[in-house]
Amino acid sequence: MDQNIPQVIQTVPLEYYVFFAATLFSIGVLGVLTRRNAIIIFMCVELMLNAVNVLLTAFSAFRADPNGQVFVFFIMAVAAAEVAVGLAIIVMIYRNLQSTDVNLLNRLKF
Amino acid sequence: MQDSVIPAAGAPFSTFLYVLIPLLPFLGFLLNGLLNRKLSATVAGAISSLAVLGSFLISVMLFWEFLHPSAQWIAPGATAHQAYTVQLFDWISVGSMQIPFSYQIDQLSLIMLLLVTGVGFLIHIYSIGYMAHDENVGKFFSFLNLFVFSMLVLVLGSNFLILFIGWEGVGLCSYLLIGFWNTNTSYNNAAKKAFIINRVGDLGFLLGIFLIYLTFNSVQFGEVFQKASLGQFGPYGVGVVTFITLLLFVGATGKSAQLPLYTWLPDAMAGPTPVSALIHAATMVTAGIYMILRANVLFTLAPHTLEVIAIIGAATALFAATIGLAQNDIKKVLAYSTVSQLGYMFLALGVMGYSTSLFHVLTHAFFKALMFLGAGSVIHAMSNEQDMRRMGGLRKALPITFITFLVGCLAIAGIPPFAGFFSKDEILLHAFEHSKVLYAVGLFTAFLTAFYMFRLLFLTFFGEFRGTEEQKHHLHESPASMTLPLIVLAILAAVGGFMNAPFFLGEENAYLSNYLAPIFTYSQKLNPAAFGAEVDHGTELMLIGLSVGAGVLGIIFAYVMYVSRGVRPAEEGAPRGFLDNLVYHKYYIDELYNALLVRPIMWLSRGLYRFVENGIIDPIVNGFGRVTLGGGQLLRAVQTGSVETYLILMVVSIVLIMALNFGKF
Amino acid sequence: MLTVLLLLWPVVAALLLHFFKGKAARVAAFGAALVEFLLAAYAALLFNANNSGQFSFNYAWVASAGINFHLGMDGLSLSLVLLTTLLVPIILLSAFRRNFENESVFYALVLFMQTGLIGVFTAQDAFLFYFMWEVALIPIYFLAGVWGGTERARVTFKFFLYTIIGSLFMLAGFVYLYFQTGPSPDGLSAHNSALTSFYNINLPVETQLWVFWLIFAAFAVKMPIFPFHTWQPDTYTESPAPASMLLAGIMLKMGIYGCMRWLLPVVPLGVDYWQNLVLILAVIGIIYGAIIAIRQHDVKRLIAYSSLSHVGLMIAGVFSLTQLGMQGASIQMLAHGINVVGLFFIADAIERRTGTRNIADLGGLTRKAPALTVCFLVLLLGTVALPLTNGFVGEFLLLAGVYEHNAWLGAVAGITIILSAVYLLRMFQRVMLGPDSAYSATFTDLTSGEIAVLVPLIVLVFWIGIFPNFFLHLSEGSVLGILGEVVKR
User: pLDDT tens digit string along B533-542?
Assistant: 667 778 888 8
| pLDDT at residue C458 is higher than 90 | yes
Are A105 and B637 inside 8 Å of each other by CB?
no
| pLDDT at residue C59 is higher than 60 | yes
Give yes or no: residues C289 and C371 share one domain.
yes
Using CB atoms, pick whichever of B192, B199, B606 lies closest to residue C295: B606
Give yes or no: residues C248 and C373 share one domain.
no
Please count the residue pairs, one from chain B and one from chain C, whose beta carbons lie less than 8 angstroms apart.
Answer: 134
Q: Determine the pLDDT at residue B74.
A: 67
Q: Per-residue pLDDT tens for C170-197?
A: 999 999 999 988 888 878 888 888 888 8
Give yes or no: residues C334 and C466 share one domain.
yes
Asked if B24 and B52 touch (Cβ cutoff 8 Å), the reply is yes
Contacts of B397 (CB under 8 A, 6+ apart): B381, B475, B476, B477
What is the distance between the alpha carbons of residues B339 and B617, in angstroms, rounded to a whole number? Answer: 46
Asked if B460 and B382 touch (Cβ cutoff 8 Å), the reply is no
Please count the residue pairs, one from chain A and one from chain B, whose beta carbons lie less than 8 angstroms apart.
Answer: 29
Q: Per-residue pLDDT tens for A34-77?
A: 888 888 988 999 999 999 999 999 999 898 888 888 999 999 99
| pLDDT at residue B472 is higher than 90 | no
Q: Does C393 touch chain B (CB under 8 A)?
A: yes
What mean pLDDT, rounded, does chain C reach? 89
Q: Determine the pLDDT at residue A35.
A: 86
Q: Per-residue pLDDT tens for B475-502?
A: 888 888 888 889 999 998 888 888 887 7
Asked if B86 and B6 touch (Cβ cutoff 8 Å), the reply is yes
Asked if C163 and C251 touch (Cβ cutoff 8 Å), the reply is no
| pLDDT at residue B77 is higher than 80 | no
Q: Does C415 touch chain B (CB under 8 A)?
A: yes
| pLDDT at residue B519 is higher than 70 | yes
What is the distance between the alpha carbons of residues C284 and B176, in angstroms, rounded to a whole number? Answer: 31
Give yes or no: residues C7 and C34 share one domain.
yes
**Alpha-carbon dihedral angle through residues C5, C8, C13, C19, given to the nearest 10 degrees:** -130
Using CB atoms, pick whichever of B636, B643, B648 lies closest to residue A103: B643
Interface of A with B (CB under 8 A): 29, 32-33, 36, 102-103, 105-110
Distance of CA C247 to the CA centre of its chain: 7
Provide, as residue numbers in chain C, all residues whose Cβ is less than 8 Å from the Cβ of B89: 467
Q: Could you give the ipTM of this predicted complex?
A: 0.91
Judged by phi (left if over 0) then psi (alpha if -120 to 50, else beta), residue B77 lies in left
Asked if B126 and B275 touch (Cβ cutoff 8 Å), the reply is no
Are B196 and C418 inside 8 Å of each other by CB?
yes
Kindly state the average pLDDT of the residues B220-236: 87
Question: How close B647 comes to chain A (CA, Å)?
Answer: 6
| pLDDT at residue A90 is higher than 80 | yes
Q: Which of B256-270, B391-405, B505-519, C162-176 has the highest mean pLDDT?
A: C162-176
Q: Do the strands C54-62 and B84-94 form a parallel or antiparallel pair, or are they unpaired?
A: unpaired
What is the distance between the alpha carbons of residues C385 and B169, in angstroms, rounded to a whole number? Answer: 11
Q: Per-residue pLDDT tens for C279-324?
A: 999 999 999 999 999 988 899 999 999 999 999 999 999 999 999 9
Kindly state the average pLDDT of the residues B396-425: 88
Q: Determine the pLDDT at residue B597.
A: 85
How does residue B253 score in pLDDT terms, banded at 50, 70 and 90? very high
Give yes or no: residues C284 and C237 share one domain.
no
Q: Determine the pLDDT at residue B587.
A: 81
Give yes or no: residues C262 and C279 share one domain.
no
Give yes or no: residues C227 and C289 share one domain.
no
Look at chain C and report how many structural domains it folds into.
2
| pLDDT at residue B1 is higher than 50 | no
Asked if B270 and B184 touch (Cβ cutoff 8 Å), the reply is yes
Residue of C61, C77, C71, C74 lying closest to C192 (CA atoms): C61
Give yes or no: residues C207 and C282 share one domain.
no
Question: How close A3 comes to chain B (CA, Å)?
Answer: 37
End position of a domain, from candidates C242, C266, C290? C266
Q: Does C149 touch chain B (CB under 8 A)?
A: no
| pLDDT at residue B9 is higher than 50 | no
Give yes or no: residues C392 and C286 share one domain.
yes
Contact exists between C and A (3 or more beta carbon pairs < 8 Å): no
First to last CA, chain B: 97
How does residue B10 score in pLDDT terms, banded at 50, 70 and 90? very low
Contacts of A80 (CB under 8 A, 6+ apart): none
Q: Does C168 touch chain B (CB under 8 A)?
A: no
Give yes or no: residues C122 and C15 share one domain.
yes
Query: To the nearest whole percent, how much of chain B has pLDDT over 70?
Result: 95
Q: Determine the pLDDT at residue A109.
A: 66
Q: Determine the pLDDT at residue B8.
A: 47
Question: How close B630 comes to chain A (CA, Å)?
Answer: 14
Q: Per-residue pLDDT tens for C1-47?
A: 788 888 899 999 988 888 887 778 888 889 999 999 999 999 888 88
Give yes or no: residues C131 and C224 share one domain.
yes
What is the distance between the alpha carbons of residues B582 and B265, in angstroms, rounded to a whole number? Answer: 19
What is the distance between the alpha carbons of residues C451 and C457, in angstroms, rounded to a whole number? Answer: 10
| pLDDT at residue B598 is higher than 80 | yes
End position of a domain, from candidates C237, C266, C295? C266
Are C296 and B606 inside 8 Å of each other by CB?
no
Are A106 and B640 inside 8 Å of each other by CB?
yes
End position of a domain, from candidates C266, C294, C316? C266
Using CB atoms, pick whichever of B637, B640, B644 lies closest to residue A102: B644
Judged by phi (left if over 0) then psi (alpha if -120 to 50, else beta), residue B384 lies in left
| pLDDT at residue C446 is higher than 90 | no
Give yes or no: residues C197 and C324 share one domain.
no
Kindly state the average pLDDT of the residues C72-86: 90
Q: Per-residue pLDDT tens for C419-441?
A: 999 999 999 998 888 888 888 88
Buried b (16+ CB within 10 A) or exposed e, C277-312: ebbbbbbebbbbbbbbbbbbebbbbbbbbbbbbbbb
Q: Determine the pLDDT at residue B399.
A: 86
Domain limits for position C336: 275-489
Contacts of B432 (CB under 8 A, 6+ apart): B439, B535, B539, B543
Chains that touch C (3 or more CB pairs under 8 A): B
Q: Which domains does chain A have, with CATH numbers?
A: 5-102 (1.10.287.3510)
